[in-house]
Amino acid sequence: MRESWWERFLDGVADRGRDRLKLNASRDPVERVGKHCEALLTSVGEASGTALAREVARELEALDDAARLHLLQTLNVRFGPDREAILRAADAYRTEPSLETFLALSRAIEPPRQELFRRINRAPGGTRTLVHLRAHVLRLLPEHPELGPVDADLLHLLGSWFNPGFLRLERIDFRTPANLLEKIINYESVHAIGGWDDLRRRLQADRRCFGFFHPALPEEPLIFVEVALLDGVPTAAAPLLDPSAPVADPARAHTAVFYSINNCQYGLRGVSFGNFLIKQVISELLAEFPRLDRLVTLSPVPGLADAVRRAHDGGGPLGGQGPRRLLADHVEPLRQASGEADPLAALLQLLQQPRPDAHGEILAKPLERLTLAYLTRAREGGRLADPVARFHLANGARLEQIDAFADLSERRMAQSFGVMVNYRYVPGAVEHNHERYMADGQVVLARPLRRELRRLEQLWPPAEPART
Amino acid sequence: MRESWWERFLDGVADRGRDRLKLNASRDPVERVGKHCEALLTSVGEASGTALAREVARELEALDDAARLHLLQTLNVRFGPDREAILRAADAYRTEPSLETFLALSRAIEPPRQELFRRINRAPGGTRTLVHLRAHVLRLLPEHPELGPVDADLLHLLGSWFNPGFLRLERIDFRTPANLLEKIINYESVHAIGGWDDLRRRLQADRRCFGFFHPALPEEPLIFVEVALLDGVPTAAAPLLDPSAPVADPARAHTAVFYSINNCQYGLRGVSFGNFLIKQVISELLAEFPRLDRLVTLSPVPGLADAVRRAHDGGGPLGGQGPRRLLADHVEPLRQASGEADPLAALLQLLQQPRPDAHGEILAKPLERLTLAYLTRAREGGRLADPVARFHLANGARLEQIDAFADLSERRMAQSFGVMVNYRYVPGAVEHNHERYMADGQVVLARPLRRELRRLEQLWPPAEPART
Amino acid sequence: MRESWWERFLDGVADRGRDRLKLNASRDPVERVGKHCEALLTSVGEASGTALAREVARELEALDDAARLHLLQTLNVRFGPDREAILRAADAYRTEPSLETFLALSRAIEPPRQELFRRINRAPGGTRTLVHLRAHVLRLLPEHPELGPVDADLLHLLGSWFNPGFLRLERIDFRTPANLLEKIINYESVHAIGGWDDLRRRLQADRRCFGFFHPALPEEPLIFVEVALLDGVPTAAAPLLDPSAPVADPARAHTAVFYSINNCQYGLRGVSFGNFLIKQVISELLAEFPRLDRLVTLSPVPGLADAVRRAHDGGGPLGGQGPRRLLADHVEPLRQASGEADPLAALLQLLQQPRPDAHGEILAKPLERLTLAYLTRAREGGRLADPVARFHLANGARLEQIDAFADLSERRMAQSFGVMVNYRYVPGAVEHNHERYMADGQVVLARPLRRELRRLEQLWPPAEPART
Amino acid sequence: MRESWWERFLDGVADRGRDRLKLNASRDPVERVGKHCEALLTSVGEASGTALAREVARELEALDDAARLHLLQTLNVRFGPDREAILRAADAYRTEPSLETFLALSRAIEPPRQELFRRINRAPGGTRTLVHLRAHVLRLLPEHPELGPVDADLLHLLGSWFNPGFLRLERIDFRTPANLLEKIINYESVHAIGGWDDLRRRLQADRRCFGFFHPALPEEPLIFVEVALLDGVPTAAAPLLDPSAPVADPARAHTAVFYSINNCQYGLRGVSFGNFLIKQVISELLAEFPRLDRLVTLSPVPGLADAVRRAHDGGGPLGGQGPRRLLADHVEPLRQASGEADPLAALLQLLQQPRPDAHGEILAKPLERLTLAYLTRAREGGRLADPVARFHLANGARLEQIDAFADLSERRMAQSFGVMVNYRYVPGAVEHNHERYMADGQVVLARPLRRELRRLEQLWPPAEPART
**DSSP string over D209-241:** EEEEE-TTSTT--SEEEEEEEESS--S-SHHHH
Rounded distance between C-alpha atoms, residue B295 and residue C121, angstroms: 43
Q: What is the dihedral of CA A325, A328, A334, A336, to 10 degrees?
A: 130
In the set A43, A48, A260, A299, the catalytic residue is A299
What letter does residue B248 receive in the DSSP assignment?
Answer: P
Q: How confident is the model at residue B58 (pLDDT cuts 50, 70, 90)?
A: confident
pLDDT number for residue A430: 85
Residue B466, pLDDT score: 41
Which residue among B43, B260, B299, B416 is the active-site one?
B299
Chain D residues whose CB is inside 8 A of the A219 CB are 175
pLDDT tens for each residue of B299-309: 999 999 999 99
pLDDT at B18: 60
Q: Is the pLDDT of residue D139 over 50?
A: yes
- Contact between D30 and D71 under an 8 Å Cβ cutoff? The reply is yes
Q: How many angstroms separate the CA atoms of B243 and D360, rounded?
A: 75
User: Model confidence over C98-119: pLDDT tens digits?
Assistant: 888 988 999 999 999 999 998 8
Q: Which of B17, B169, B216 is opposite residue A431, by nearest beta carbon?
A: B17
Name which residue leads in pLDDT, D45 or B230: B230
Is B184's pLDDT higher than 60? yes
Asked whether the predicted pLDDT for residue D318 surpasses 50, the reply is: yes
**Coil, strand or helix: which one is B313?**
coil
Is C117 within 8 Å of C157 (Cβ atoms)? yes
Highest mean pLDDT among A133-147, A268-282, C264-278: A133-147
C175 touches chain B (CB under 8 A): yes
Q: Of D123 and C396, which is predicted with more confidence?
A: C396
Cβ contact B282:B427 at 8 Å = yes
| Rounded-to-integer distance, Cα D433 and Cα A461, Å | 95
Contact (Cβ atoms closer than 8 angstroms) between residue C212 and residue C277: yes
Measured between CA atoms, the residue of chain A closest to residue D199 is A178
Residue A219 touches partner B, C-beta closer than 8 Å:
no
- Which residues in chain C are closer than 8 Å to B180, comparing Cβ atoms? 175
Look up residue C368 and give its amino acid: E
pLDDT for D161-175, tens place per residue? 888 778 889 999 999
Compute the distance between CA of residue B160 and CA of residue A127 in angstroms, rounded to an integer. Answer: 13
Q: Which helix (H) or strand (E) holds B170?
A: strand B168-171
Nearest to A174 among D174, D178, D195 (CB): D178
What is the per-residue pLDDT for B349? 93
Q: What is the mean pLDDT of chain D?
A: 88
pLDDT band at B427 (very low <50, low <70, confident <90, very high): confident
User: Nearest C-alpha of chain B: how many angstroms from A282?
Assistant: 10
B434 contacts A45? CB cut-off 8 A: yes
Q: Check if the beta carbon of residue D392 is closer than 8 Å to that of residue D423.
A: yes
The answer to whether C156 is a known catalytic residue is: no
Amino acid residing at C310? R
**CA A156 centroid distance within chain:** 17
Q: List the single range of A340-349, D138-147, D349-358 with lowest mean pLDDT.
A: D349-358
Residue B332 has pLDDT above 80, yes or no: yes
Lowest-pLDDT range of B223-232, C205-214, D93-102: D93-102
Find the length of chain C. Answer: 468
What is the rounded CA–CA span in Å between residue B359 and residue B452? Answer: 22
Could you count the other beta carbons within 10 Å of the beta carbon of residue D220? 16
CA-atom Rg of chain B in angstroms: 26
CA distance B181 to chain C (A): 8
Of the pLDDT bands very low, low, confident and very high (cuts 50, 70, 90), residue C20 is low
Contact A94 B105 (CB under 8 A): no
- Gap from D162 CA to chain C (nearest CA, Å): 9
Mean pLDDT of C186-210: 93
CB contact under 8 A, C160 and D165: no
Instruction: Give the distance from CA B381 to its chain's centroid.
Output: 19
φ, ψ for residue A48 (rounded to 5)? Answer: -65, -40
pLDDT score of C435 more than 90: no
Pick the catalytic residue from C43, C299, C338, C416.
C299
Taking each helix axis from N to C end, the angle separating D112-120 and D148-161, rounded to the nearest 10 degrees, works out to 50
Mean of the per-residue pLDDT values for chain A?
A: 88
pLDDT above 80 for A453 = yes
- Closest chain A CA to residue D195: A196
User: What is the number of CB-based contacts under 8 A between chain B and chain C?
Assistant: 35
Lowest mean pLDDT among A24-38, A299-313, B94-108, D435-449: A24-38
Of residues B14 and B327, more confidently modeled: B327
Q: Which residue has the higher pLDDT, C20 or D335?
A: D335
Whether the per-residue pLDDT at C160 is higher than 90: the answer is no
By CB atoms closer than 10 A (0-12, 13-18, 19+), residue D188 is buried
Rounded to whole angstroms, the Cα distance separating B135 from B115 reads 19
Q: Note which residues in 371-430 of chain B have CB less than 8 A from chain A.
A: 428, 430
Does A83 contact B97 at a Cβ distance shorter than 8 Å?
A: yes
Residue A11's identity, in one-letter code, is D
Give burial (CB, 10 Å; 0-12/13-18/19+) of B173: buried
Chain C contact for D87 (CB, 8 A cutoff):
yes
Which residues in chain C touch residue D102, judged by CB atoms under 8 angstroms apart?
81, 109, 149
Spatial separation of the C-alpha atoms in residues B267 and B159, rounded to whole Å: 11
Per-residue model confidence (pLDDT) at position D279: 85
Residue A171 distance to chain B (closest CA, Å): 12
| Nearest Cβ partner for D179 among A175, A180, A182 | A175
Whether B14 shows a pLDDT value over 70: the answer reads: no
- CB–CB contact A182 D174 (8 Å): yes
- State the chains in contact with B (3 or more Cβ–Cβ pairs under 8 Å): A, C
What local confidence, expressed as pLDDT, does residue D354 receive? Answer: 84
What is the per-residue pLDDT for A220? 93
> Nearest-CA distance from D64 to chain A in Å?
25
Per-residue pLDDT, averaged over A147-176, amounts to: 90
Q: Is the pLDDT of residue D13 over 70?
A: no
Chain A residue closest to B14 (CA)? A431
pLDDT for the residue numbered D2: 38
* Contacting residues of D for C102, CB less than 8 Å apart: 81, 109, 149
Q: Do chains B and A touch (3 or more CB pairs under 8 A)?
A: yes
Could you say which of A191, A214, A312, A392 is catalytic? A392
Residue D434 pLDDT: 86
pLDDT of residue C23: 66
* pLDDT for C24 beyond 80: no
pLDDT of residue D382: 81
Which residues in chain D are contacts of C279 at CB distance < 8 A? 9, 13
Please indicate whether, in this complex, the C-beta atoms of C45 and D431 are within 8 angstroms of each other: yes
Backbone angles phi, psi at A420, to 5 degrees: -125, 165
The dihedral built from the CA positions of residue D227, D233, D237 and D242, taken in this order, carries a sign that is negative
Strand partners, C421: C299, C402
**Beta-carbon count within 10 A of D96 CB:** 10
Supply the pLDDT for residue B89: 95
Give the span between the Cα atoms of D52 and D36, in whole angstroms: 7
| Per-residue pLDDT at A285 exceeds 50 | yes
Least confident of B17-31, B447-461, D149-163: B17-31
pLDDT over 50 (residue D356): yes
What is the pLDDT confidence band of residue D452, given thresholds at 50, 70 and 90?
A: very high
Statement: residue D233 has pLDDT above 50: yes
- Residue A464 has a pLDDT of 52
Other chains touching D, judged by 3 or more CB pairs under 8 Å: A, C
Chain A residues closer than 8 Å to B438 by CB:
44-45
Report the alpha-carbon distance of residue C18 to residue C28 in Å, rounded.
Answer: 20
Name the amino acid, one letter, at C62: A
Chains D and A make contact, 3+ CB pairs within 8 Å: yes
Chain C residue numbers with beta carbons less than 8 Å from the beta carbon of B176 are 177-178
Q: Is A316 left (phi over 0), alpha (psi -120 to 50) or beta?
A: left
* DSSP string over C27-75: SSHHHHHHHHHHHHHH--SHHHHHHHHHHHHHHHHH--HHHHHHHHHHH
Question: What's the CA gap between D399 and B75, in Å, rounded?
Answer: 81
Query: Does A182 contact chain D (CB < 8 Å)?
Result: yes
- Which chain A residues have a beta carbon less than 8 Å from that of D181? 178
pLDDT tens digits, D242-262? 988 999 999 899 999 999 999
Give the whole-angstrom CA distance, residue B259 versus residue B188: 11
For C404-449, the DSSP string reads TTS--SHHHHHHHTT-EEEEE--GGGHHHHHHHHHHH----B-HHH
The stretches of A79-231 forming alpha helices (DSSP H) are 83-95, 99-109, 112-120, 126-140, 148-161, 178-187, 196-202
Q: Output the pLDDT for position B21.
A: 61
Q: Alpha carbon of A356 to those of A359, A401, B343: distances in Å?
A: 6, 21, 106
CB contact at 8 A, D124 and D11: yes
Is pLDDT of B234 > 50?
yes
Please say if the pLDDT value at position C163 is more than 90. no
Section A178-204 average pLDDT? 93
Which residue spans within C189-232 are E strands per DSSP? Answer: 207-213, 223-230
Q: What are phi and psi of A299, to 5 degrees?
A: -120, 145
Task: From chain B, pick out residues whose CB is under 8 angstroms from the CB of A4.
Answer: 165
CB atoms within 10 A of CB C47: 25
Among the listed residues C222, C224, C179, C220, the one whose alpha carbon sits nearest the alpha carbon of residue C202? C224
Confidence of residue C380 (pLDDT cuts 50, 70, 90): confident
CA angle D46, D47, D50 (to 5 degrees): 85
Name the least confident of B295-304, C230-239, D292-301. C230-239
**D454 inside 8 A of chain A by CB:** no
In the predicted structure, residue D3 carries a pLDDT above the cut 80: no
**Rounded Cα gap, residues B214 and A166, in angstroms:** 9
Q: Which residues contact D32 (CB under 8 A, 6 or more apart)?
A: D24, D25, D26, D59
**Secondary structure (3-state) at D171:** strand
D86 lies within 8 A of chain C by CB: yes
pLDDT at position C466 is 41
Report the C-alpha gap between C122 and C49 in whole angstroms.
Answer: 10
> By the CB < 8 Å criterion, does B451 face chain A?
no
Residue A329 contacts D where some CB pair is shorter than 8 Å: no
Do B and C make contact, counting contact as 3+ CB pairs within 8 angstroms? yes
Task: Look at residue D29 in the predicted model and tell me its pLDDT.
Answer: 84
Interchain contact D48–C (C-beta under 8 A): yes
Active site residues of D: 299, 392
Residue A142 backbone dihedrals phi, psi, to 5 degrees: -55, -40
User: Residues of chain B with pLDDT > 70: what percent?
Assistant: 92
Evaluate whether ipTM surpasses 0.95: no
**In this model, does residue A442 exceed pLDDT 70?**
yes
Active site residue B299: yes
pLDDT surpassing 60 at residue B2: no
Question: What's the CA dihedral at C17, C18, C24, C28 to 10 degrees?
Answer: 130
Task: Tell me the nearest-neighbour CA distance from D52 into chain A, angstroms.
Answer: 26
Q: What is the 3-class SS of D248-271, one letter each residue?
A: CCHHHCCEEEEEEEEECCHHHCCC
What average pLDDT does this structure show over B188-206?
Answer: 92
- The whole-angstrom separation of Cα D447 and Cα D461 is 20
Say yes or no for a CB contact (<8 Å) between C177 and B175.
Answer: yes
Spell out which residues of chain A touch residue D2, defining contact as CB-CB under 8 Å.
175
Distance CA D181, CA D220 (A): 10
Share of chain C above pLDDT 90, in %: 55
Min Cα–Cα distance to chain B from C294, Å: 28
In chain D, pLDDT over 70 holds for what percent of residues?
Answer: 92
- What is the pLDDT of chain B when averaged over all its residues? 88
d(CA A396, CA B13): 12
d(CA D184, CA D261): 11
Residues of B in contact with A278 (CB under 8 A): none
CB within 8 A of C182, min separation 6: which ones?
Answer: B174
SS (H, E, C) C302-316: CCHHHHHHHHHCCCC
What span, in angstroms and rounded, lies between the C-alpha atoms of B60 and B121? 13
Instruction: Give whichever of A60-64, B365-369, C40-44 has the largest mean pLDDT.
Output: B365-369
**Per-residue pLDDT at D138 exceeds 60:** yes
What pLDDT, on a 0 to 100 scale, did the predictor assign at position A123? 79
The helix/strand/coil state of D5 is helix
Distance, in Å, from the CA atom of D457 to the CA atom of D373, rounded to the nearest integer, reads: 9
- Nearest CA among B417, A286, A447, C438 for reference residue D43: C438
Angle at A10 between CA A6 and CA A16, to 5 degrees: 155
Q: What is the DSSP code (8-state) at residue A445?
A: B
pLDDT at position C124 over 80: no
User: Does B49 have pLDDT greater than 80?
Assistant: no
Query: What does the pLDDT read at residue A17?
Result: 61
